[in-house]
Amino acid sequence: MKILDPRIVREDFPILHRKINGHKLVYLDNAATSQKPKQVIDSIKYFYENINANPLRSVHTLAEKATEVYMDSRKKIAEFLNAEQDEIVFVRNATEAINLVSFSFPFKPGDRVATSYIEHHSNLLPWLELKAAGIKVDVVGVDGNSELDMAYYSKPRKDLRLVAVSQESNVTGTINNVKEIAKDVHKNGSYILIDAAQSAPHMEIDVKDIDADFLVMSGHKMLAPFGIGVLYIKNSVQPIMKPYLRGGEMIKSVKLDKITYESPPQMFEAGTQNISGAYAYGVAVDYLKRIGMRTIQNYEKGITRYLYNEARKIEGIKIYSGKSRQYGSIFSFNVDGLHSHDVAYFLNKKGIAIRSGFHCAQPFIEDKLHIEGTARASTYFYNTKEEIDIFLSELKSIVRKYGRR
Ligand SMILES: Cc1ncc(COP(=O)(O)O)c(C=O)c1O
């Protein structure tokens, strides 16, 4: 396996050289969005200067080139997930992808769907709202270590149609064994949707090996620009789905009394898409593949382990993450006596960017952790051990100056 040198990759990320409040930026808010390498930034400029046209429609050279790069990105992302090209639907983000499935899946009143306590609101609200249509909604519990109640999935339930679960929690970094869940779910004759918004930036994903029916990702968390994401829909599942949005690009023929839709993925890509975003997403995936997802994961494990080992020595903080058997690059904590926003405010004064609050997981934070929010530092492959040291040193200083004694 290759060894990753973050000092070299950092050269590709212009923003990492910025100063914030007179200090070198230490960007530890990667779970919210990743920074972008110059290859991705340049690709957007390149697209608009050299390719820009509406793909799939016109036959002129630029339109054909736009079609080519759009399809090429689909191919790259399919390869990234070990999927087939026509299983990749471009959407705006993970949120849109999950909403699409909640709307297009053929639920009937009396059906049951399962989400879980550890989900981001994006993988909770679209399912909770189905109650109004007579669908039963189970919210699978978690234990004190943020491990999912795996027994739920292995119990046969005739009415259970779909299980929605994240591969990695954005609050605790808990990595769920989605392959095992998929096996149980399929034994029961149900379908599984995997929210890979937090996992896809950090690990290799093989949709065939997991046996996912649906899998969602947001480009912006994995080096690509905002406004582009992916919904994977397994080929064999596609025929049961109905269109989500209706309009141009997604039809074979339109008569006033009969509409024939294109087959997926076009059927789910109504209207003009974010073509420059899709193009840049392909460039982002190329970048990740060039380093290698295993190399990335291995490097991140090292700095996460270091962060946890050192943070556990600090008195006056409470750590909420890293308790599960497997966890990713997320460190959720609070300083005794301080609100998480105050911690984020003090760190920002020293140029350190973290996230604070509910992290769009209010039921988990309130009902399971019984708190008002957490401070969350989240790393990526361009973060250095020196940055972790700066963060830890500032955290200790905050505890000393403002924490409860
Ligand atoms: C686990 C998880 N799922 C879904 C989302 C939603 O992503 P987006 O806002 O890009 O749609 C997020 C965003 O933080 C997330 O962490």
Q: Is 70 exceeded by the pLDDT of residue 231?
A: yes
In this prediction, residues 4-25 reach a mean pLDDT of 97
Distance between CA atoms of residues 189 and 219, nearest Å: 31
CB 267 within 8 A of CB 250: yes
Does 402 fall in a domain? no
Per the annotation, the verdict on 360 as an active-site residue is yes
pLDDT attached to residue 162: 98
How remote is the CA of residue 376 from the centroid of ligand 1, in Å? 15
pLDDT attached to residue 2: 83
In this prediction, residues 364-372 reach a mean pLDDT of 92
Cβ(122) to ligand 1 under 6 A? Answer: yes
| Whether 108 and 147 share a structural domain | yes
Pairing type for strands 136-140 and 112-116 reads parallel
Residue nearest to atom 14 of ligand 1 (CA): 32
343-354 per-position pLDDT tens digit? 999 999 999 999
| Whether 356 and 250 share a structural domain | no
Residue nearest to atom 16 of ligand 1 (CA): 170
Does 127 fall in a domain? yes
Distance between CA atoms of residues 120 and 131, nearest Å: 18
- Among 210, 360, 361, 388, the one annotated catalytic: 360
Q: How confident is the model at residue 374 (pLDDT cuts 50, 70, 90)?
A: very high
Q: Which of 93, 100, 122 to probe ligand 1 with, by most ligand atoms within 8 A of CB?
A: 122
CB 92 within 8 A of CB 228: yes
| Whether 122 and 209 share a structural domain | yes
pLDDT attached to residue 58: 87
pLDDT attached to residue 93: 98
Rg, Å, the chain Cα set: 22
pTM, to two decimals: 0.97
Distance between CA atoms of residues 123 and 176, nearest Å: 15
Q: Which of 99, 231, 360 to probe ligand 1 with, by most ligand atoms within 8 A of CB?
A: 360
Q: How confident is the model at residue 110 (pLDDT cuts 50, 70, 90)?
A: very high
| Whether 278 and 299 share a structural domain | no
Last-in-domain residue among 247, 264, 289: 289
In this prediction, residues 95-124 reach a mean pLDDT of 97
Distance between CA atoms of residues 382 and 223, nearest Å: 11
CB 229 within 8 A of CB 89: no
Give how many domains the chain has, as a whole number.
2
| Whether 108 and 123 share a structural domain | yes
Does 403 fall in a domain? no
How remote is the CA of residue 298 from the centroid of ligand 1, in Å? 23
Peptide bond into 265 cis (omega under 30): yes
Ligand 1 atom with the smallest distance to the CA of 359 is 14
251-289 per-position pLDDT tens digit? 999 999 999 999 999 999 999 999 999 999 999 999 999
Q: Which of 124, 218, 223, 355 to probe ligand 1 with, by most ligand atoms within 8 A of CB?
A: 218
Pairing type for strands 214-218 and 191-195 reads parallel
Q: What residues does 29 pair with on adjacent strands?
A: 378
31-68 per-position pLDDT tens digit? 999 999 999 999 999 999 999 999 988 899 999 999 99
| Whether 281 and 357 share a structural domain | no
Ligand 1 atom with the smallest distance to the CA of 33 is 14
- What percent of the chain is modeled with pLDDT above 70? 100
Distance between CA atoms of residues 14 and 11, nearest Å: 7
In this prediction, residues 173-192 reach a mean pLDDT of 97
Please spell the DSSP secondary structure of 91-146, one letter per residue: ESSHHHHHHHHHHHS---TT-EEEEETT--GGGTHHHHGGGGGT-EEEEE-B-TT-
Distance between CA atoms of residues 224 and 245, nearest Å: 24
Q: Is 80 exceeded by the pLDDT of residue 249?
A: yes
Q: Closest Cα to residue 221, out of 254, 196, 243, 244? A: 196
| Whether 109 and 161 share a structural domain | yes
| Whether 17 and 85 share a structural domain | no
Q: Is 70 exceeded by the pLDDT of residue 405?
A: no
H or E element at residue 355: strand 355-357
Residue nearest to atom 9 of ligand 1 (CA): 95
Does 20 fall in a domain? yes
**Which CATH number is 371's domain given?**
3.90.1150.10
Ligand 1 atom with the smallest distance to the CA of 92 is 11
In this prediction, residues 290-299 reach a mean pLDDT of 97
Cβ(30) to ligand 1 under 6 A? Answer: no
Output the average pLDDT for the chain: 96
Q: Is 80 exceeded by the pLDDT of residue 81?
A: yes
**Which CATH number is 85's domain given?**
3.40.640.10
In this prediction, residues 213-238 reach a mean pLDDT of 98
Q: How confident is the model at residue 208 (pLDDT cuts 50, 70, 90)?
A: very high
| Whether 133 and 215 share a structural domain | yes
Domain span holding position 378: 6-30+292-397
308-332 per-position pLDDT tens digit? 999 999 999 999 999 999 999 999 9
Q: How confident is the model at residue 26 (pLDDT cuts 50, 70, 90)?
A: very high
| Whether 345 and 245 share a structural domain | no
DSSP for residue 10: G
Q: Is 80 exceeded by the pLDDT of residue 1?
A: no
Q: Closest Cα to residue 28, out of 287, 348, 346? A: 348
Q: How confident is the model at residue 404 (pLDDT cuts 50, 70, 90)?
A: confident
Cβ(93) to ligand 1 under 6 A? Answer: yes
